[in-house]
Amino acid sequence: MVATHLAAVSDGHVIGTLRILLHGRTAKIGRMAVSASSRTEGIGRELMESAATTASSRGAEEIILGAQLTAYGFYKRLGYMEEGAVFDDGGTPHVMMRKKLQL
């Protein structure tokens, strides 16, 4: 399986990252993180928008992700909708979220 990693870089330092896995027409985003000192500056949004563009260009019609509950509001703002019950992943509560991509 091919993984695509996006990175936000500032002054030669990686300050944000995520990973895209493509499963047929569904892309799965994971490993989303922005460095603590660079949060709430729009970097996470830009990374997610770039991921949607990248996934769409590779044939994806939707994106799914497992959101930590603490980041639920971030994804919700970007148009992701929760589905299913809250589940535990490594001791952290998560919920699956999905967004259809504009074709």
Ligand X SMILES: CC(C)(COP(=O)(O)OP(=O)(O)OC[C@H]1O[C@@H](n2cnc3c(N)ncnc32)[C@H](O)[C@@H]1OP(=O)(O)O)[C@@H](O)C(=O)NCCC(=O)NCCS
Interacting residue ranges for ligand X, rule: CB under 6 A: 32-34, 39-45, 67-68, 70-71, 73-74, 77
Least distance in Å: CB of 72 to ligand X?
7
Burial class (CB in 10 A: 0-12, 13-18, 19+), 62: middle
From 67, 72, 70, select the one nearest 96 (Cα to Cα).
67
Least distance in Å: CB of 17 to ligand X?
9
Least distance in Å: CB of 78 to ligand X?
7
43 or 101, CB closer to ligand X?
Answer: 43
